[in-house]
Structure 1
Amino acid sequence: MDSLGALKMTSKIIRVSNELLQDSAIDMEAYLARRIAERIGRGEARYLIQGTGTGTPKQPKGLKASVTGTTQTAAAGAVKWQEILALKHSIDPAYRRGPKFRLAFNDNTLKLISEMEDGQGRPLWLPDIVGVAPASVLNVPYVIDQEIDDIGAGKKFMFCGDFDRFIIRRVRYMILKRLVERYAEFDQTGFLAFHRFDCILEDTSAIKALVGKGSASS
């Protein structure tokens, strides 16, 4: 059984000359901290979706590997509105009532869906109404995540469910270390960040995926 822990990511060491730190017109240390945080954030985002739960060092088991319930499209590189509807209704109504029930896909998929209509000529995608309702697809709110696969054979390109059941644990988010002595002979300072986090899908019935017909190429 999977368990929720705290796996460690690192930014790897970034070496900066002390002249640059001392003479720069901007706060170079603060700038580096922001850039490192962005790097860590991108790495976390990828693992939350694409993490395998294996490897050395061990990766978190992301959404793609955790979701086992699937609905398959009739074609490898295309999706019909009926297939999105089938995915929605493959989720138990108890989960569909949750405040975090939504769809998740990348921006390429959103572009495709935005051009689609249902059997009565109504658009699948509806824009948000400020203060009233979020943007939706088939009346389901959605999130965009660029780490989710494009539509393709064997690809889990759309997820639907109660995302409150996908638990993310972050331990203090990011710790940045300043390595003053390590590169002193080069008159450089090193910067290194660590981030501990993990994720788990606590209920595999809560989130399911739409998969392109066929097998994914290696």
Structure 2
Amino acid sequence: MTEAKAAGGSDMPADLKGAMTGFVSELRAFRDDIQSQLKAQDERMTMIDRKTALRSRAPLSTSAVTEAPHQKAFNAYLRSGDDDGLRGLVIEEKNLTVASDGGFLAAPRVAETVQAVLRSSSSLRQMANVVTIESAVYEALVEKGEMGAGWATETAAPGTASASIERISIPLHELSAVPRASQRLLDDAAFDVEGWLAERIADRFARAEAAAFVNGDGVDKPRGILRYTTAPVATATDMQVGFVNSGALGGFAATNPADCLIDLVYALGAAYRANAAFMMNSKTAAAVRKMKDADGRFLWTDALSVGQVPQLLGYPVLISEDMPDIAPNAFAIAFGDFRAAYTIVERPDLRVLRDPFSAKPHVLFYATKRVGGGVTDFRALRLLRFA
């Protein structure tokens, strides 16, 4: 620094000059120290960035890191049978285990498409209670009889009666579908093999499930609502499905045919009617929707907008083609709170096994999932018998 001058051009006193010189030296030392620290910090941040680059990107690329390798490997397996990529993922990801029959978990896109179709299909799944489990059996505790209640006093305990408990077990069963395709079609890069596979699997699964939830006998398949012991509502126990007669054999009564529907509604307990619905097939619906009340108004109300369902006597109607036609002694109409009455249990995984040998020149895809179903609250379900 050049020698400082006073404001008027005169020299500074010696003691002031020394103080200024010391101050400037300390300021330079402070500046150099700050620059050194900033440089060291920049170097450390650069090293940290290099080490944590992948980690810092993880929140924005979770799907790219975990799903994309599975998606790519699964596509290769479907097209050419190359399972090296999937087996490599099995080692790294515990949830990509190989099934006992040799199948692999389907890619998320396929599994999600299948589940979406099953949820939207016209089956009991729309209204039932659906539970996802990892075990082989689902157990539910059901109260038989009514839980007592009473008023407590200062000198006596409330007189309440305890309801007995019934344990109901719903086992899982293997649901399978075997769509097929030609190897030439699989070799076409423009062919959406995953979309095609998901569509075929979903269609077969939906039809098989819908039939089992209504008429399944419980042997290697879910037990349907029509395969349980039935009895007239007046005498039905807590482990029987109560029914109401239509008033005529194989049809509705000649006079006041809709009375049996009203009886069916009020045969269900008031606690269940709030969430109740009808279920019948199209032929039965065609007969019911012609009914009118005493003032000539139809009992059936069509949906007013897309996404809504028609109503009968103010309750939703599910059209299930697996319900029987009107016939002598047939239980052609069901009414109840199906979420309380019926439970569907399933495992979340969908597995696919490629088989290029059994049906040459076609390639078979053996797809499986595990699902079960059964009535868990018999008081929440009533049937109309045409007798």
Same fold (TM over 0.5): yes
CA 1:141–1:16: 2 relative to 1, 3 Å: closer
Unaligned runs of 5+ in 2: 1-166, 231-240
Alpha-carbon distance, 1:37 to partner: 1.8
Could you tell me the percent identity over the aligned residues? 26
Q: Which structure carries more relative contact order (alpha carbon 8 Å, separation 6+)?
A: 1
Letter in 1 for 2:181: V
Q: TM-score, length-normalised on structure 2? A: 0.49
1:204 — aligned with what? 378
CA distance in 1, matches of 2:303, 2:182: 48
Please list, as runs of the form range in 1=range in 2, the aligned pairs for 1:95-134 lying within 5 A after superposition: 95-97=272-274, 100-130=275-305
Letter in 2 for 1:154: N
Partner residue of 1:136 out of 311, 327, 338: 311
CA deviations 1:121-170 (Å, max 9, x no partner) are: 22110123449x85311111111111111111121100111111111112
CA distance in 2, matches of 1:85, 1:109: 16
CA 1:19–1:201: 2 relative to 1, 3 Å: same
Q: How many residues align?
A: 204
1:30 — aligned with what? 195
Unaligned runs of 5+ in 1: 214-218
8 Å CA contact 2:176, 2:366 repeated in 1: yes
CA distance in 2, matches of 1:37, 1:59: 17
Structure with the largest fraction of strand? 1
Q: Which has the larger radius of gyration?
A: 2
1:88 paired with 2:254, answer no
Please list, as runs of the form range in 1=range in 2, the aligned pairs for 1:47-196 lying within 5 A after superposition: 47-54=212-219, 58-66=220-228, 68-79=241-252, 80-97=257-274, 100-130=275-305, 135-165=310-340, 166-172=342-348, 174-179=350-355, 183=357, 186=360, 188-196=362-370
List, as ranges, runs of 4+ consecutive aligned residues in structure 1 with deviation greater than 4 Å. Answer: 184-188
8 Å CA contact 2:358, 2:364 repeated in 1: no
- DSSP 3-state at the match of 1:33: helix
- DSSP 3-state at the match of 1:94: helix
Structure with the largest fraction of helix? 2
2:172 — aligned with what? 6
Q: TM-score, length-normalised on structure 1? A: 0.83
CA distance in 1, matches of 2:203, 2:359: 29
